[in-house]
Amino acid sequence: MWMRLNDISTRVVGGLSMIDPTSFRLRGFLAVAVAAVLVAAALRHTLHVYAGFSREEIGWDALSVAIIAILAILFFRRASKQ
């Protein structure tokens, strides 16, 4: 017997339908990840076409910003623990 996706992700407890928190969090994470990829693609396209940056410049700038963000996160986590 095949189960529908709705049957797997929801349960009926005491007559009320409850969403499985794991699948709810997974859907939220996937939605944020897809939105981030779409925004990054639109920003990259805009910078390349309208601002005239080369693909290599955009890539190096993105890499440097990612490194700075990771270092800032690590620094502020350590500073808040002390």
- Encode pLDDT of 21-71 as tens digits: 778 888 899 999 999 999 999 999 999 999 999 999 999 999 999 999 999
Rounded to 5°, angle at Cα 78 from 75 and 82:
140
In b/e form, how buried is each residue of 44-77, taking b as 16+ CB within 10 angstroms? eeebeeeeeeeeeebeeeeeeeeeeeeeeeeeee
Give residue 46's pLDDT: 95
Q: How far is CA 67 from the centre of its chain?
A: 18
Collapsing DSSP to helix, strand or coil, 9 comes out as helix
- Whether residue 14 sits in one domain with residue 3: yes
Query: Which residues on adjacent β-strands are paired with residue 11?
Result: 18
- Whether residue 67 sits in one domain with residue 28: no
Give residue 44's pLDDT: 93
- Whether residue 30 sits in one domain with residue 1: yes
- Whether residue 80 sits in one domain with residue 59: yes
**pTM of this structure:** 0.59
- Whether residue 9 sits in one domain with residue 41: yes
> pLDDT grade, residue 1 (50/70/90)?
very low
- Whether residue 57 sits in one domain with residue 44: no
- Whether residue 59 sits in one domain with residue 47: no
Domain residues for 69? 53-82
> pLDDT grade, residue 81 (50/70/90)?
confident
